[in-house]
Structure 1
Amino acid sequence: MTRKSDLKQIRLKRLKIANFKAIDAVELHFPPPRMKGDPDIHVMGSRNGLGKTSIFEACALLFLGMYGSGTFQLARYRMDLTELFVRAGSEEARIEGDFSVNGEDREVRIRWSRSDALKITSTIKINPMIAGREERPDEDLVEEFLMLLAGYTMEPIVMQPCLYFHSYRKVQEGKPELGMMVESEMPRQMRGRRPGRWRGPFEEGKSVSTFKIKMLHAMMGTVGLFESLDKQQADKTREQLNRLIEKYAGGTIEKLRPSHDNTFDFLITPRLSGKTGPGDPFSFDGLSSGQKEIISTLFLIWHHTLDQSGIILIDEPELHLNTEWHRDFVRQIFELAPGNQYILATHSEDVFGSVDEDRRLFL
């Protein structure tokens, strides 16, 4: 769960991008809702190939500014990220973000030059992840974040108080191991490894979605046998998880099925059906991609912003979803976690039309 901090509210007010990927120049404004209590949700729509994903990636880079300022030499990285992110024919990419943090104006400025220098200038000094540390992003964190942004994993990017659900996200099939109970809150791909020791998720022996680790924590925590897990919090987490599974899969997770290789499978028990009783339990991995996607996305938003508001970017929320869920998606995220700022990019007319005209951005 989110670490305690004095961050009460954060939102993006303005985004300006120049020479980033295929984008020449663009500036977007995200005004607050007109009325207090209205959803703080903007939806971007356009035809394919006009840069919605590039805009989100540039916005996600601003997340590094939540960790402070610094200059980073990228030449030592094992992938030429400059060629990937700096527009062809340009000497540098520039990204500017104006934020409101606890009601005060703050800014993050990023310059990415062809000399492989990434310079981050930030006036944001609040981040729960760096309490007691120097206000500068860690070298390993920057490298691994950029690798995540370059598409080295199907995991959503979590850098509290910001989350980025990219369009290639996927709840990976596979069973978590018991030893994963001791893994920390920060996604495994963003743990502090020294330079030269980075291993992408596709190089690891097994890759299990962070979402499944949260599920395992909730299930194990409810029995009250683990000293590092808060039973009350685990009960709350499991209740929310089962509420989503009930809505989108017609059952609840009540049992774990152990395997000889020290892994566990999550078993969904279908709801009662008249006099016939519940059906046979089935594996969570047996759900459709759309079911797993909407359950995991909504759960991770709730989980990571329960204690403080955040900025949530969702690229293609309609990914794998049934058509009837498109128009309802905006209402679901607002009901689940109303204190966040949401920015969505979509090809779905239903998702685009589910917000008022002044909350739509058409590229």
Structure 2
Amino acid sequence: MRIDRLYVRNFKGFEERTFTFPRSLDAPADGNGSFHVIIGQNGRGKTSALDALAVAVGSWFLGVRGEDSRHIRLDDVRVRVIEFRETQRIEKQLPVVVEATGRVQGKDYTWKREFAGKRTTWVNAKNIKTSAEIAVEKMQRGEEVTLPLISYYGTGRLWLEPKDVRAEAEALKAGHTPQEVPAQETEEDLAESFASRLAGYRFSIDPRCSPRDLLRWLKFEQQIANVERRESIQFRVVKQAIQDAVEGCRRIEYHPRLGLLLDIEGQPRLPFGALSDGQRNVIAMVGDLAFKAAQLNPHLDEKVLLKTPGIVLIDEIDLHLHPRWQRHVMDDLRRLFPEVQFIATTHSPFIVQTAREGELIPLDVQPVAETENLGLEEIARGLMRVERPEVSPRYRQMVDVAKNYLTLLDEAEKAPAEKLRDYVERLAADIAPYADNPAFQAFLELKREATLGARLEAMAEQVQPGRHDGDGER
């Protein structure tokens, strides 16, 4: 499964926009995998583009009973402020259209969702709905059909819990409030939760992803391993994927009482919750993708990560990652999930630098063919519109202050005596904010003294033409 083209109209900040996602140049002709990175200043629509893609790819769930499709919502509707004589009104721009062209279960499709104010239509998405229904029916008959992996990771990953509407309904039936969650799940609870292959679709299109389901799945697999005295292929594959994704990770295990434990070079053995945000972010994302692929396609055995296709959306892929890790996270994901189409956003020049030809989608500048040979300063200046990225903003400010100071000094040197004192006060005010840098202040003050010192002394002498000792004699 992949999306090659996305068209949106009146979706959030987009009046009308078409996105294309060409296949990687080095990908096999029949491959699905690719990586695209959307960049742009805040407010240009990076997350909005991912939300529109979520609507498009979420259409698959129209044909998966029990799973929620991502519909077009009221807050997705583009609005305009309309001036009418002396008043202003906010008007919704309808209809909203999200249309995708891509490949689903080996067939090329175009499908469309629309919203005119009440509900999201699916009549023009029957093809993808039917494709999903056929795939699910085959799965239920025990056929070895490969299901696509679908996931959306928002910026709240790690700490925002998806809302489980069905669990809330069950809690209410049992006489509990929706907030009452059992402290401990039994083996039977976990077995029921992961009994179906379709458990790999739980919360797939909800960007409020957290590692909770991954940790539950690892616990479930460990319980099975303890009973059967051997680990399943899927369990081994997921643990290996996590280990491969974390720098310096030598070993991971799931302890019945302590949970997920990791041995990482340079650190003592630590539980998942005690790791850095960057480490937990990568573990949660890679582990979540790996366990979902293993859950959806157990028939692929040890090749499940290599052969599972799908679409994965990642908002701010650089979130919590050290620049060194940012430089290889894209390649790590490509290597682990070569058949998956990744579409991510970023503000990081390190991520941009690792994008290959045709993989970068800038929202506010012209696309460039290649970024691999560009330096970070060229990327920051040319693609991310950062002025003089080679120096800090404060340094640039100090340079501008120094230039202005020297210009004022030249003017003061030529100014009449009655205006000289005003110039001196302005010069002092210009450098007052830099008391934390006495060398900077001292340099400019020496310049002032060399330029205006004699005139200032003469003015002082005119105001007080002599000095008096203690007895009043001159």
Alignment TM-score > 0.5, same fold: yes
2:326 equivalent in structure 1: 326
Which residue is equivalent to 1:181?
A: 190
Pair 1:32-2:29 in alignment: no
Aligned residues: 290
Change (3 A) 1:357 1:254: closer
SS of match in other structure, 1:292:
helix
Give the structure with the larger strand fraction: 1
User: Sequence identity of aligned pairs in percent?
Assistant: 21
Within a 5 Å distance, the mapping from 1:71-86 to structure 2 comes to 82-86=73-77
For 1:128 and 1:171, locate their aligned partners in 2 and report how far apart those are by CA, in whole Å. Answer: 33
Q: Does 1:132 align with 2:137?
A: yes
SS across alignment from 2:314: strand
- Residue 208 to residue 233, structure 1, CA distance change in 2 (3 Å): closer
**Deviation of the 1:16 alpha carbon:** 0.6
Question: Residue 281 of structure 2 corresponds to which residue in structure 1?
Answer: 293
Q: CA deviation at 1:241?
A: 3.2
Q: Say if 1:218 and 1:238, in contact at 8 Å, map to a contact too.
A: no
The Cα shift of 1:266 comes to 2.6
SS at match of 1:84: helix
- Is it true that 1:46 corresponds to 2:36 in the alignment? no
Deviation of the 1:352 alpha carbon: 1.3
Q: Quick check: 2:214–2:291 contact (8 Å CA) kept in 1?
A: no
Corresponding position of 1:4:
none
Q: Distance in 1 between matches of 2:253 and 2:134?
A: 33
| 1:251-290 aligned within 5 A | 251-256=250-255, 258=257, 265-269=259-263, 279=268, 281-290=269-278
Q: Distance in 1 between matches of 2:273 and 2:160?
A: 8
Q: What residue in structure 2 maps to residue 119 of structure 1?
A: 121
Gaps (5+ residues) in structure 1?
1-9, 71-79, 134-158, 191-200, 202-206, 259-263
2:226 match: secondary structure: coil
Distance of 1:268 and 1:172 partners within structure 2: 23
Letter in 1 for 2:59: G
Q: 2:72·2:120 contact (CA, 8 Å) conserved in 1? A: no
What is the letter of the counterpart of residue 66 of structure 1? W
Amino acid of the structure 1 residue aligned with 2:39: G
Residue matched to 2:109: 106
| Rounded Cα–Cα distance in structure 1 between residues aligned with 2:134 and 2:217 | 18
Q: Secondary structure at the match of 1:47?
A: coil
**Distance change >3 Å, CA 188–CA 126, structure 1 → 2:** closer
Compared with structure 1, are the counterparts of its residues 110 and 222 closer, same or farther at alpha carbon in structure 2 (3 Å cutoff)?
same
Query: Which has the higher mean CA deviation after the structures are superposed, 12-21 or 36-45?
Result: 36-45
Cross-structure match for 1:6 = none
Q: Which residue of 2 aligns with 1:60?
A: 54
- Distance in structure 2 (CA, Å) of the matches to 1:350 and 1:181: 40
> Are 1:213 and 2:216 an aligned pair?
yes
Look up the match of 1:239: 240
Task: Tell whether the 8 Å contact from 1:181 to 1:213 is kept in structure 2 after alignment.
Answer: yes
Distance 1:349 1:269, change over 3 A: closer
Please give the root-mean-square deviation of Cα atoms over the aligned residues, in Å. 3.5
Establish whether residue 344 from structure 1 lines up as the match of residue 335 from structure 2. no
Change (3 A) 1:215 1:265: same
Preserved CA contact (<8 Å) 1:40 1:341? yes
Change (3 A) 1:110 1:230: farther
Question: Aligned partner of 1:113: which letter?
Answer: A
Deviations 1:262-295 (A, max 9, x none): xx53333456x8xxxx94x432100011101011
Shift of 1:314: 1.2
Q: Is residue 162 of structure 1 aligned with residue 153 of structure 2?
A: no
Query: 2:11 matched to which residue of 1?
Result: 20
Rounded to whole Å, the distance in 2 between the matches of 1:48 and 1:339 is: 31
TM-score, length-scaled by structure 1 = 0.69
1:115-165 deviation digits (Å, cap 9, x = unpaired): x121022222333796239xxxxxxxxxxxxxxxxxxxxxxxxx9432211
AA matched with 1:126: S
Instruction: Indicate the residue corresponding to 2:443 in structure 1.
Output: none
Give the 3 Å change call, closer, same or farther, for CA 85–165 of structure 1 in structure 2: same
Choose the corresponding residue for 1:93, options 71, 92, 96: 96
CA-CA distance at 1:166 after TM superposition: 1.6
Q: Quote the offset at 1:53 in angstroms.
A: 0.3
| Separation (CA, whole Å) in 2 of partners of 1:35 and 1:211 | 32
Work out the CA distance in 1 between the residues paired with 2:219 and 2:6. Answer: 38
CA shift in 2, pair 1:250/1:361, >3 Å:
same
Amino acid at match of 1:22: G
Return the letter of the residue paired with 2:55. L
Residue 353 (structure 2) aligns with: 353
Q: Give yes or no for contact 1:249–1:291 (8 Å, CA) kept in 2.
A: no
